[in-house]
Amino acid sequence: MTNRPTNLPTDPIFSLKDAALRLNGNAGPVDILHGITLEVAAGETIGLVGPSGSGKSSLLMVMGGLEQATGGTVLAMGQDLTAMDEDALARFRRDRMGIVFQSFHLIPTMTALENVATPLELAGHADAFERAAEALASVGLAARTSHYPAQMSGGEQQRVALARATAPRPAILLADEPTGNLDSANGEAIMDLLFELRDRHGATLVLVTHSDALAARCDRIITLRDGRVDSATRKDVVA
Amino acid sequence: MSLSLATKFARRELRGGLRGFRLFLACLALGVAAIAAVGSVRAGIEAGLAREGAALLGGDAELELTYRFASDAELAWMTAQATAVSEVADFRSMAAVGDDRALTQVKAVDALYPLVGSVLLEPDIPLADALADQGNLPGAVMERALIDRLGITIGDPFALGTQSFILRAQILREPDSAGAGFALGPRTMVLRDSLEASGLLSPGTLFNSKYRLTLPEGTVITDLEAQAAQTFEGSGMRWRDARNGAPGVAQFVDRLGAFLILVGLSGLAVGGVGVSAAVRSYLSRKTEVIATLRALGADRATIFQTYFIQIGILSLLGVTLGLLLGAALPLAAAPLLEARLPIPTAFQIYPAPLIEAGLYGLLTAFIFTLWPLARTDRVRAATLFRDSWDGASRLPALPFILATGTAIAALVGLAGWFNGSWWLTLWTLGGIAGALLLLTLAAFLIRIAAHALSHRLRGRPRLRWAMAAIGGTGEGAGAVVLSLGLGLSVLAAVGQIDGNLRQAIAGNLPEIAPSYFFVDIQKDQIAGYTERLENDPAVTRIDSAPMLRGVVTRINDRPAREVAGDHWVVEGDRGVTYAARPGAQALITQGAWWPADYAGPPQISFAAEEAEEIGLELGDTLTINVLGRDITGTITNFQEVDFSTAGIGFILTMNPSALEGAPHTFISTVYSEPEAEAQILRDLATMYPNITAIRVKDALDRVADVLAGLAAATSYGAAATLLTGFLVLIGAAAAGADARTYEAAMLKTMGASRRMIAASFILRAALLGLAAGSVALLAGTLGGWAVSTFVMETDYTVIWPSALMIIAGGIIATVLAGLGFARRALQARPARVLRARE
């Protein structure tokens, strides 16, 4: 069913060593992540699970360069994300990553087609709109290209977000509770679509979820607790 | 690449419509419209003056002489250059009907007058017919104000000096009136020949003669002007030509226009505060979009450009709306303006003032939006996961600061270049910048104070909520204090300056100023004149002095202008007198007065302050041209001359033997009890009909009228600023409406009544208005003090009625703006509001 590589390459796509995140809140500094050490192989699918406030989304942000680690190192495809400035990180995401958010984060003033075309345009693809149309067709929204986010249901919006994340064919897909704002039927459909797209392009997927069933579809499940890796379980071990 | 992409993104973003930008557009449009309208009106008047230059002047060119008519040789020169030469004499006199006398500005014309344009009379008869002899008496025409003042009707007789006239018509329009300058009395027009027997144009009387020339086709006006300057060198001749027919009016309109445009810039600055607030609010709504774009890989430049282009397009739209409004307003008001202005106008669309206003608008928009736009830099992709928007006000990066500084410099440079007075520009814009700084600081302090106070007001919930709201970030205390405060500051400054000036004119001067100026007292009349007054117990003081006019032509045998530049003393002719002894009040600062019987070479006493300005020293020689004769004298002393008391003050006094041989008259000031004034005037006018009396109070009233007009024009400018401020205020209230609705819902949930919540809302608005009004009063008072002390050089006292109105205005404006949006907050059902929040 999937084209997941059986022999994982030796060079990991993510390599985190003692990664830490400390944020300054109104009440003083708060340690969100403590010494996370983790390697993710290319093509691997990772499920990040754990209770609320355990640091799942923060770890995903650090891996996506959306948040800079305040300690340790974070290597993505061999590049040190902690050494890059905001613009370099943006370019890295543009060229290598697709991100799916729980709240979709579609740009309300853009149509579905324009939303999907945006990362392709940012990457300078001349055929951005053709590829965006294909991506929308692949998520079953060929007929909704000219619709604005406000004219679509939550499930449709998340499908547009999936198309936007996968259209540039990124090496890495990051998804933060992509079904969190959807009902169960829509959520299941979206997850099928996410895994199908990942399989089609062979991307590495890191998925934050509260759902054990969803996590079980990943190659590896990493459980976080209080900002630390509590346990890591391989699928074959689970099975 | 990033720019074209940013343009695409900006276009997509703008498809969301202009919702949220109404305040932005209104602020910018209103500010630009005010400046464009003032500029267009000024251009319309200037074009009218230029178009009607020859009519305003009464010919293609004019040569004006003081206290004398042109010599035969001078007339011959004029006749040789022109196809027609018309002579007009202009002077002040008294029009008398029985015992009743009124000051009038007489224009004695010849048969050729007017060379250009026509005099419109009521009844509609030709001027020549109106002025011609009918029966035994010559005809005359007068302005309505004088006819009413004397209580006569068409066909009634009146006298000028010893000559009687018959009033034939009322002057409706005098083509060259705008070029005549400031007049103390309404116009009477007669034929010069009719005045021969009046005794009013005898040698030494104060009159101006004007020679209007019609020039042949192809005359090069600049060449002719140069020739005239050479021919009439040192004679005090003043040249005007149709290129600028009414230089006084043109200069006045230009200066007033420039000042009003600067006042308009303060309106634009207030608008800028609103524009800045609108952009901040827009970008805070766009935080998620910006963060999403960053998550998708957009760099900072692309994002900044995306929003810069959007705001740029909106700024262009706002400026365009303003220009349309500013160009249309004068056109719409043209019939009204043309009817009220005594000068020709040509209202149409003029590109220059629109370009000026447009540039000001775009630069202001740039200055006030760049820093909020720079904050897009600080929106990180992580904002999508948690609220990591760094709302703290930090300075933007250096390039943004430099760009803002450059734009401010460009704005100041443009304003200075357009209005031509760097001094006025720097003072006004410096004042606006100072007021903005003061208001920003005040807003900060008010927030801190309110925040601190809110913790100490236990048991007074309404006041505590109000203080907490003002001290919080959501209420927009900064925007309110800045926008309303700047408008009120300008209004307060205008009120304080106007009030102090009026006080100086109406309050202080009459105590020390004379009741009357009498001019044109002939040498053989001065003894009888003095006797009449000295024997009057109501007269407390009489100062009389011989009065001649002279032009300082050379200083130490060098051309005076070469030495003194454009100092007013060497510009045109000045009053000159002679005296054997220094006056009773005179203060000699340097040198010594000549002996009372001195009859040697001419000696000069010069005004000390002006001498210092020009750089004159004891022993310097001055050549004065008096009635065509050069008199060279040596400065032997300097004396303090106080021109501010409305008494007699001469810049230059010579020993008697130097001047007494020249034809001249006397000028005199009389200080008397008010109740005796009328009798003095009647007696002197009966004894000496040629003498002209100028009631000082009337003259000061005329000056006060002109100043009142100026203050009114400035107040209209300030009102536009205030209107923009009120718009910003409404914007701030609208922006806080949701927060207030939520707050009201929360308070209701906890048991607060609507009355209680409404009281708190009113209280916070009133407190903010009070704060804005108080700070504005401080800024306006400082401005008023600075202008009164350094520019007007008058004493300064706070004008409290105006000050209190400013504070009351501040409170009323904020309460009105706040209440407008409080209704929805008070009426909303708590459950719905709170559910919507979840």
Largest CA distance in chain A: 50
Largest CA distance in chain B: 104
B289/A66 Cβ within 8 A: no
Identity of the highest mean pLDDT range in B184-188, B598-602, B828-832: B598-602
Same domain membership, residue B710 and residue B653: no
In a domain, B680, yes or no: no
- Which pLDDT does position B365 carry in this prediction? 93
Q: What domain count does chain A have?
A: 1
Across B161-226, the runs of DSSP E, i.e. the strands, are 163-173, 187-191, 207-214
Domain that holds residue B621: 539-672
Average pLDDT estimate for B57-68:
82
Q: Which of these, A95, A171, A167, A97, lies nearest to A134 by C-alpha position?
A: A167
Which residues, other chains included, contact B61 with Cβ-Cβ below 8 Å and sequence gap of 6+? B82, B212, B213, B215, B221, B224, B225, B228, B239, B240, B241, B242
In a domain, B433, yes or no: yes
Across B26-162, the runs of DSSP E, i.e. the strands, are 61-66, 84-97, 100-109, 120-122, 139-142, 157-160
Same domain membership, residue B268 and residue B302: yes
Considering only CB atoms, which chain B residues are within 8 Å of A110? 12
- Which pLDDT does position B118 carry in this prediction? 84
- pLDDT confidence band for A6 (50 / 70 / 90): very low
pLDDT in tens, B489-533: 877 887 787 777 777 666 545 455 677 888 888 888 888 888 888
Same domain membership, residue B573 and residue B547: yes
Phi-psi region of A40 (alpha: psi -120 to 50; beta: other; left: phi over 0): beta
Average pLDDT estimate for A76-86:
90
Same domain membership, residue B119 and residue B106: yes
Q: Is the pLDDT of residue B389 over 50?
A: no
Nearest-by-Cβ selection for A86 from B289, B300, B388? B300
Same domain membership, residue B745 and residue B817: yes
In a domain, A7, yes or no: no
Q: Is the pLDDT of residue B807 over 90?
A: no
**Mean pLDDT taken over chain A:** 86
- Residue tagged 């300058």 (tokens): B181
In a domain, A52, yes or no: yes
Same domain membership, residue B563 and residue B428: no
Same domain membership, residue B495 and residue B482: yes
In a domain, B688, yes or no: no
- Which pLDDT does position B720 carry in this prediction? 74
**Across B58-62, B413-417, B459-463, B520-524, least confident range:** B459-463
Average pLDDT estimate for B152-170:
91
Angle at B458 between CA B456 and CA B461, to 5 degrees: 115
Same domain membership, residue B169 and residue B30: no
Q: What domain count does chain B have?
A: 4
**Across A217-231, B226-240, B695-709, B811-825, least confident range:** B695-709
- Which pLDDT does position A133 carry in this prediction? 94
A119/B382 Cβ within 8 A: no
Percent above pLDDT 90 for chain B: 17
- Which pLDDT does position B252 carry in this prediction? 73
Q: Determine the distance from the C-alpha atom of residue B91 to the mean position of all C-alpha atoms in its chain, rounded to a whole number.
A: 28
Domain that holds residue A214: 12-238
In this prediction the ipTM stands at 0.74
Tokens representing residue B234 in the block: 């040192």
- Which pLDDT does position B98 carry in this prediction? 83
Q: Is B704 helix (H, G, I), strand (E, B) or coil?
A: helix
A164/B384 Cβ within 8 A: no
Q: Is the pLDDT of residue A130 over 90?
A: yes
**Mean pLDDT taken over chain B:** 82
In a domain, A47, yes or no: yes
Indicate the Cα dihedral angle B319, B253, B187, B666, nearest 10°: 160
The verdict on whether omega for the bond into residue B342 sits within 30 degrees of 0, i.e. cis, is: no
pLDDT in tens, A19-72: 999 987 666 788 999 999 999 999 999 999 999 889 998 899 899 888 889 999
pLDDT in tens, A137-193: 988 899 999 898 888 988 899 999 999 999 999 999 999 988 887 787 778 888 888
CA distance A119 to chain B (A): 6
pLDDT in tens, B674-686: 788 878 888 887 8
Q: Is the pLDDT of residue B830 over 70?
A: no
CATH code: domain of residue A152: 3.40.50.300
Which residues, other chains included, contact B10 with Cβ-Cβ below 8 Å and sequence gap of 6+? B305, B306, B307, B309, B310, B313
Give the Cα separation of B778 and B784 in Å (integer): 10
A91/B299 Cβ within 8 A: yes
Q: Is the pLDDT of residue B107 over 50?
A: yes
Check if B226 contacts A (Cβ < 8 Å): no
B296/A66 Cβ within 8 A: no
Same domain membership, residue B45 and residue B78: no
- Which pLDDT does position A3 carry in this prediction? 43
Q: Is the pLDDT of residue A228 over 80?
A: yes
Name residue B636's amino acid. Answer: T
Helix, strand, coil % over all residues of chain A, rounded to 5: 35, 30, 35
Check if A87 contacts B (Cβ < 8 Å): yes
Check if A93 contacts B (Cβ < 8 Å): yes
Identity of the highest mean pLDDT range in B15-19, B241-245, B533-537: B533-537
- Which pLDDT does position B827 carry in this prediction? 80
Tokens representing residue B49 in the block: 């003056």
Instruction: Count Cα atoms within 13 angstroms, Cβ side, for B214.
Output: 11
In a domain, A62, yes or no: yes
Average pLDDT estimate for B710-715:
70
A121/B297 Cβ within 8 A: no
Same domain membership, residue B554 and residue B416: no
Same domain membership, residue B729 and residue B633: no
Give the Cα separation of B196 and B187 in Å (integer): 19
Average pLDDT estimate for B198-203:
74
Task: Please classify residue B7 by burial: count the beta carbons closer than 10 Å to its beta carbon, then call 0-12 exposed, 13-18 middle and 19+ buried.
Answer: middle
pLDDT in tens, B306-343: 999 999 999 999 999 999 999 998 899 888 877 777 67
A101/B302 Cβ within 8 A: no
- pLDDT confidence band for B61 (50 / 70 / 90): confident
Give the Cα separation of B778 and B783 in Å (integer): 9
Task: Please classify residue B387 by burial: count the beta carbons closer than 10 Å to its beta carbon, then call 0-12 exposed, 13-18 middle and 19+ buried.
Answer: exposed
In a domain, B226, yes or no: no
Tokens representing residue B154 in the block: 């068409």
Same domain membership, residue B432 and residue B400: no
- pLDDT confidence band for B386 (50 / 70 / 90): low
Probe site for chain A from B1, B296, B313, B388 (most A CB atoms < 10 A): B296
Bridge partners, residue B208, by sequence: B66, B90
